[in-house]
Structure 1
């Protein structure tokens, strides 16, 4: 390896037998395949520089590396590439500046690369890392590759349970936060503030522990198709305030714990298409975020969904995306797509765990009006008034029931015509068989039941029939009911008309 380093030649210690070359079985390898970590460190730090016309680099396959590879704070102009190796110690690149780091098919203890600058590729494809990877505030100008890797949190496997439910009733102490998995020991990937200029490819990643990506920047996208994240705390992914061109939690992505992207910014597509999401409390926390398009079509989901105060261009969803409560207060969107029916949309805006919220109804109605579905918009606003009614005191509820029955809170004014026609028909039929008595006998009058009933129903007498005829017997009650009903219908029409003209009022 000493001789190969100056020219960057490969040192391959593999036997060619896949079973014998498995890095997980490195304990059986002999001394001929053992390399001291100190030698690797010395070479990378320039102990044996390249000669004229050579490009140095360390390329090693099938070796058992003993000890820690400590390259912290160093500036390394050469590349490190290790294939199917077993590294029993820690690979430390904290505050280092390197050209490129590649580990493929390796079995590793831990990787520490906080604040590292990598001018090229960082690859951990098909690797097993037993005690987590640290990349907080690192900068990678090329790609980050973690596809088909297996990462475990430093504390080891623990399953998500009811004990990890977030208690929002009081602030947590530092001890409680550590117990609930909010420290490094419960994250398989600790990468807050990471910046990746190339794509971050984590397809088929498997972790025992969460992904902490708070404030990370993925300038060419984050791709987690078919990844399986088994959290050891309440959150499977914490990517608050993350910025990315596109994010794929799709194609079988599985999260055991909350996926949290509060305040994230995605300039392209954020996709949960065919994802499997499960959490005892909240499976998706997507509040205060922005996305050009959000695809919420999971294969299965369990837990609450929070979209509050987010701004979304296109929302493509399905009813199965919302298995429990859904928080929509403050959510705005430009367009809705998907197989969701109108009835599902009405149920969608009314499932806030804190009860009635007017804004989701109003925004949904505005969208229906914008696309020309005025009838659906009126139905949404009617549902809003009915939901609001449940928050009122008894007098307000009674008035609400009356407005709903008579004119549908002004969104169904034709109901007043139905009631008016029904009362007019009943009154005409009754007074035709039980005519009232004439008030004045100085002139002879001919009684007509239709205009008489119509005059009773109209609040202001038009045909002058009320003063000319006096109902007799029990028909006096009917006359009084018709007069009162006329006033009620007129009042309801005025109140309802006001709501039609101001549909955004509360």
Structure 2
């Protein structure tokens, strides 16, 4: 065979693998090209290869000049745990439609690894370095994938894969959740078991090429805390089922793009708190459902956020995030939206001012001034001064509801008279109405002259103006005394003049006050 064997006997399938290793020639043990690897436990010895045989080839290999060794095996039942932990593997390993148990690559360094359309019990690859592609397309991993702190220089591919959660003994749940490692013990017959809520555990993962998880299906969440996707994360069409937990837990993740749309479905919270996305983060046509918070996107930095989901059930939290372009659809938001501290450079999407005012008023904790100020600042920046004033007026009205009774009464008066200073034309309208009323009344019920020695000609309009002005301008107020019931009208005009003046000053001060919102 050209190589010494550390085994007393190889079966026919193992002998084929052993002899083809030096050149990397393919070995196909399939009866049909569409053999279902999930049924691999029923395959006979003619398709069985011991995992220790594969490990011996990969770990003990010595490359020969002019040859590229490797294992290219299809339709095999791999018996036992394929343990390559801590190894440095220079040969390639390509498995197609194989049935496998546990694959352990913890702390290993390997070339590109392909396990396509395989049925795998569990994949452990914590702290692994893969120099090339890690391809799990179409595979079923029944008890989870672990890639924490791994480094993949090529692409990570889990397209059309199915990943379940690890099964652990109930009595040892806390210990096993912490490690998924060698301390794991199989549940004995009849012993209660439980499943974790995490299917792909990849905190600290670095992928230099794209991470393609399109149409991935999991029963358990994706844990990407602190992960780096240097060429993007793509989850279009994926179905992540983690009810009552986190479907995606990716705090402080960094990516050039993150596509969670085009049919992406999550049963559980999608959390990207503190994430940094230098390109587009998209939830276009996504479906997210969680009993409490559906999207937790606070403290993010993202160049463009596309928030046009098919449906969201649960709260959305964008608090304290910095967004370049926000493309959304206000009617697509749920009842509660956290926007306090959120800033954005541009808003896109079909939304009228009324929709935006509803959007900034949905904080479940009540009135927050910053969302109104940020929206007004945006309208001013694009030259829509009228809309900016309407937003700030809505802010004052929302604030009024938080005040005690005296404050609410004074606020209502300011709103009625001058619209909190954002509608100064209201004061002019009130002044015109009062002038018209006073002129008409005092023309028919002329006041009495106070000093009979003076020769004065009464003018009802000038007299009303003098009453309305806080300070007498035409010296009519002191020269004429209203008679009968017109005294009440005169006193009312004087009081109204002071109220108008006070409201204009208060409103003008508020309008002219510098804003801290950029």
- Asked if Structure 1 and Structure 2 have the same fold, meaning a TM-score greater than 0.5 normalized by the shorter chain, the answer is yes
When structure 1 is superposed on structure 2, of 388-397 and 204-213 the one drifting more is 388-397
Aligned to 1:223: 234
Aligned to 2:427: 416
- Report how far residue 280 of structure 1 moved: 0.7
Aligned to 2:31: 15
State which of 302, 318, 329 in structure 2 corresponds to 1:307.
Answer: 318
Aligned to 2:148: 136
**Is 1:358–2:359 an aligned residue pair?**
no
**Is 1:91–2:109 an aligned residue pair?**
no
**Is 1:255–2:266 an aligned residue pair?**
yes
Aligned to 1:432: 443
Whether the 8 Å contact between 2:244 and 2:290 is mirrored in structure 1 is: no
Q: What pairs with 1:120-269 in structure 2 (closer than 5 Å)?
A: 120-155=132-167, 185-269=196-280
Cα offsets for 1:439-481 (capped at 9, x unmatched):
2223454332111111111111112211222111111101000
Runs of 4+ residues over 3 Å off in structure 1: 48-52, 443-446
- Report how far residue 233 of structure 1 moved: 4.4
Q: Distance in 2 between matches of 1:469 and 1:443?
A: 11
Q: Aligned with 2:340: secondary structure?
A: coil
Whether the 8 Å contact between 2:325 and 2:345 is mirrored in structure 1 is: yes
RMSD value, Cα: 1.8
- Report how far residue 68 of structure 1 moved: 0.4
Q: Aligned with 2:22: secondary structure?
A: helix
State which of 9, 17, 21 in structure 2 corresponds to 1:5.
Answer: 21
- Report how far residue 17 of structure 1 moved: 5.4
- Report how far residue 184 of structure 1 moved: 8.8
Whether the 8 Å contact between 1:381 and 1:503 is mirrored in structure 2 is: no
Q: Aligned with 1:136: secondary structure?
A: coil
Distance 1:365 1:503, change over 3 A: farther
- Report how far residue 349 of structure 1 moved: 1.2
Whether the 8 Å contact between 1:96 and 1:116 is mirrored in structure 2 is: yes
Q: Distance in 1 between matches of 2:261 and 2:298?
A: 19
Whether the 8 Å contact between 1:330 and 1:360 is mirrored in structure 2 is: yes
Aligned to 2:191: none
Q: What pairs with 1:328-367 in structure 2 (closer than 5 Å)?
A: 328-367=339-378
When structure 1 is superposed on structure 2, of 320-329 and 372-381 the one drifting more is 320-329
Gaps of at least 5 residues in structure 2 are: 1-16, 179-193
Q: Aligned with 1:399: secondary structure?
A: helix
TM-score, structure 1 as length reference? 0.92
Q: Distance in 2 between matches of 1:59 and 1:8?
A: 6
Matched residues, number: 480
Q: Distance in 1 between matches of 2:466 and 2:107?
A: 91
State which of 55, 76, 80 in structure 1 corresponds to 2:93.
Answer: 80
State which of 20, 33, 39 in structure 2 corresponds to 1:25.
Answer: 39
Q: Distance in 1 between matches of 2:33 and 2:68?
A: 31
Whether the 8 Å contact between 1:124 and 1:147 is mirrored in structure 2 is: yes
Cα offsets for 1:293-328 (capped at 9, x unmatched):
111000111111111111111111111442121111
Whether the 8 Å contact between 1:300 and 1:320 is mirrored in structure 2 is: no
Q: Distance in 1 between matches of 2:390 and 2:65?
A: 80
State which of 491, 497, 502 in structure 2 corresponds to 1:486.
Answer: 497
Distance 1:505 1:98, change over 3 A: closer
- Report how far residue 361 of structure 1 moved: 1.1
Q: Distance in 1 between matches of 2:354 and 2:396?
A: 16
Aligned to 1:70: 83
